[in-house]
Every structure is written in C-alpha cells, then in structure tokens.
Amino acid sequence: MSATTQAPNRSTLTAPLPGGSLPASRRHPDVPRPTHAAVNALRYAAPALAAYAAVRLTGLSVLWAWAHAEGVGVWQTVASDWDANWYLGIADQGYARELGTTYDTNNLAFFPLYPVLVKAIAAFTPGSRATVGLLLAVAFSFLAAWGVFAVGDRLYGRRVGVLLTVLWGAFPVAAVQWMGYTESLFTAFVAWSLYAVLRGDWLWAGSLAALSGLTRPTGVALAAAVSLTALLSLRHGFRARALAGALLAPLGWLLYVGWVGLRLDRWDGYFAVQKLWHNELDGGVETLRVVRELLFYDSDPELYLVMVTLVMAACAALFAVCLRRRQPLPLLVFSGILLVIVLGSGGVYFPRARFLLPGFPLLLPLALYVAGLKWTRAALFVTAAVLGSAYCSGYMLLVWPSAP
C-alpha cells in the first residue's frame, strides 16, 4: 500500500475509545465486550507504544549520561523545576486570590486539571507530590502516544501510525513528555478527541476537548476544531449528539476563564493575568522581532533559541503541506489555531517549541514520507530524529539556563 493511499476500514483493529465494540464473531464469551475491545486495541497498538518507549528511553539515557558527566542531578529538573514547581505550588497551596502587579508571579495563569490530579492521587499514594506528578506525566505520555497512533492508523494505516508515534516521541523538546509538565496530559486529550471526531463519536470528542480546556490555554484550539466539525456535520441531518459535542467542547476553557474572573472580581480577570505574563496576541510582531534579531543581528545567537526558531518554521511549513494534502478538517483547524496562538503571541519566546508539541497532526506529512522510503533510509531518518531529539532535549535541560 502506498504511503498516500488510505487504508481500508480497520474499525475492529484501530484503538477504540472506551465503549468500542467488536464483531460478534470475535467476542470472547467470558469477557465483557468493552474490555475485550480495549485489550485487542492495546495489543494492536503495542508496536507503536514499544517504539515510543524505546525513543524516550534513548533520550533519557543520553540525558542521564550527560548529567552524570556534568556532575548534576536529573531528578529535580524533571520533577519539580520551572513549570512543575508552579503546578506543585498550586497543589500545595491553591490559587492566588488577587491579581497583583508583579509580572510572572500570578499562578492563575496555570490551568487546574493537572495539579488537581496530582493533589488527589498523592493523597492516597506514598511518595511526594513531585513523584506523583512525574509518574502521571509518564503514564499520560503513553496514553497520548496510543492516541497519536490511533489517529495515524485510522487515516493511513498501521505503519504510518507507528511512525507518527515515533516522530512525536522524537520531537526536539520531547523531554518535557516525561517531566512534571502538562504537555503529555494535554496531548492525550487532543489525540483521543480528534480520533473521536474522525469516528463521529461526538460526546467523547466534546468531553475530552472540555477536559483539555481545563489543562492548557491552547485547549481553545481543540474546542474550536471539535465544535466547528460537529456543527458542520449537522448539514447532513440533525443529530443531538453532534450538537451536544459542539456545546461541550469549549466548556472546560470557558469555566476556568469564568472562574478566574469571579475570583478576581473582574470580567477580564484571566486576560489580565495573562497580560502580567506578557501573553497577548500581537499578530506575530514580537515573534518576527526576535527571529530577525537572532538570524540577522546577533553575532552569537543562543543555540537553543535558534532551535526554537527552526521548530516554529518547520511547523509552519508542515502546516502548508497539510493544507495542500487536504488533511481532515478537525486536524487542520486544531493545528492552524495552535500555530496562530504560538506564533502570534507577544509573550516569552523560548518555550514556543514546547507549546507546539501537542500539534502532532503537523508530523503526518513526515510520517507519510518516511513510510514511503526503503527500510534502510527510513531507519536512518528515524535514528537521526531520535538522536537529534536526545541532544536537543539534553541541551535544553542541562545547558539552556531558563525554563524549557
């Protein structure tokens, strides 16, 4: 099968959402149908998950060896530094009650679902909240990888699904997938919500999009993708589930933004908080200013910032390819709005490659390209991606002096 030809319907093999079913001829008489379907789906996705684990373990090994050579520890960096420290602070002490005037200090900029999960699970498990947060991130990274595989497999077949999962695990800043950050949890919601849209499971799609809106501010991009696709589907006939999914999708984001407004006693409270973090859309003015300075005026540009710039440029180019290939509408809407938010922000520059990590649909053209290569060339491409990711991630955590 060519890399650009859609695979035949594999609805019994592609990883289903909970509640999926198998044909009667394949049901085990002693196992409940949803459980049987989930087990079969997990077995089917096992090569992708094993490959993902190998990619991330390679990156972790390089990071560990590099840190050992430098005489520094890794645990604090991945479990409790930078954004992880903010989430742990929310789990410990809750949210601020006043806006304040000091920049980069108000924790209401951080969405609540991840710290709430950390606090709830840590209350019933041994170990510190930092440990719980890190383990949750790792667990959700595998759930995200499964969802990434499911989307790729449904659209283009198992080989592309595995390659898409590997490429997501080999993203230049993929180390944050196994840190006390929200990227893994958010990507899990994105992947399974988009997969649900592709299947027409509107309640699942809307519910997962709503949860993503409680996880990261860019959950609004997923909400837009789900709601727009669901509403457009109504042209072919009214379906209550599609309308419900469209209404559910933005609910999490709207609830948190509304709650922040009530807590600060001002309707624009959330946006005022983001302004204190320099996060305002400026149409890309700040992005262009930094890019111009890095590439044309700085005689010795910081390597990490150059890498961030290259990642953003590559993602923008890949989005153009996705448009040309007429990728499914929900994937295009999500990736497009994500790019607009990241590239059009006037906020800090250095974490923008990380902000693009959940945009795995942008990697589909690369997965299709590699799938069409001979085995040796495909292996070389993947090896280069994995080793490049390991180096970039190590540099980000051990050399770059600021947050990833």
What pLDDT is recorded for position 399? 96
How many whole angstroms separate alpha carbon 119 and alpha carbon 90?
Answer: 9
What pLDDT is recorded for position 13? 34
Contact 369, 151 (CB under 8 A): no
Q: How many CA atoms lie within 13 A of 307 on its CB side?
A: 20
Token duo for residue 145 = 């990888």
**Residues near 363 by beta carbon (within 8 Å), at least 6 away in sequence:** 164, 167, 168, 171, 318
Residues of the chain with pLDDT under 50: 1-32
How many whole angstroms separate alpha carbon 297 and alpha carbon 303?
Answer: 15
Q: How many CA atoms lie within 13 A of 367 on its CB side?
A: 29
Q: H or E segment at 76?
A: helix 75-79
What pLDDT is recorded for position 38? 83
Contact 256, 111 (CB under 8 A): yes
What pLDDT is recorded for position 81? 94
What pLDDT is recorded for position 23? 39
What pLDDT is recorded for position 370? 98
Exposed e or buried b per residue across 244-268, where buried means at least 16 C-beta atoms within 10 angstroms of its C-beta: ebbebbbbbbeebbeebbebbeeee
Contact 182, 111 (CB under 8 A): yes
- The residues with which 281 forms a beta bridge, in sequence order, are 345
Using alpha carbons, select from 140, 169, 177, 172 the residue that is nearest to residue 152. 169
